Chain A
């Protein structure tokens, strides 16, 4: 049985895209969160559970999806629960800690700060803990 390039192209597209649609329907297509961070599998996930054993159950999906990176929806509460000391956050901010449930990106918007710069500084603190 011979296969032409066009037929192969169609098969590749159908298998990959169709597979994604099918797995999405079956609930297997999870692109954020997943076991790595949310279920305390390794690395920071373990750290989170040590610091606050009950944290994994009470958090929002985004909080539970921690994979070592500060994102747009990361809150100051997340940073504290990941183990970043309060004093270090305040030193980086240059002011007292705002409302803990406030997202870091929203804080930047309020204060007219660059999220990218603040994110880098806070990320360094998170990375120190991971090490």
Chain B
């Protein structure tokens, strides 16, 4: 009888649900510790962080329950008429089948004269969400065959700035079950000139990479000094030796412009800090970059 009790407790313990992201986290951590274990995984590891997290966020979370869920094959495709801002409307895809939930919101830009820009952005948004949807479907079918489980994905967008001149849109993907692996991608459009702003297009030459990187590094250290729980992988915080430290931003680093007309540099979860720090953003003081800005049309 007592032996049974321990066995039962052990069984419960061994049934702790394992999040699909675990494998990704372990391998990524090994890679950051300078170890590339398996040649077979190189292809996967070589992908951009965002893409890899996306796959991981859709991975299985199999748990040991067996409920009699009826999985109706219903997918709603709801075109919504109302627009959020003048240049933004969206479509929504939802799946709501008990433990399987997907809520994909597709932003669509309308009202631009430059149809090439408008169409290429919209196509990209749609393609990304169709891919998410297809992956979700595949995972869901797989789990149903195995008797059920939990799976959730949300995608959507946030308007970071919308004024006379600028529209900054952040698109995100969040896994709602398992670990919250949020990834962001930003697009900033000049509404007057009707062009998509890239980071290099804002600056004279490429010295901005170093100037911004140095500023971010000092912000990281300042934050850490103010609160020791704020850890970044940067020289000076004692994380040296086993992680790849943040050196500099990519010339095409994720960015947006906030409503105060400040440049904000954004990093995905795990990009420059441990997972618990989540997505991290740094507002770059304008005086730091004033000398290398092309003009002060967007950033003030």
A and B associate in one complex? no
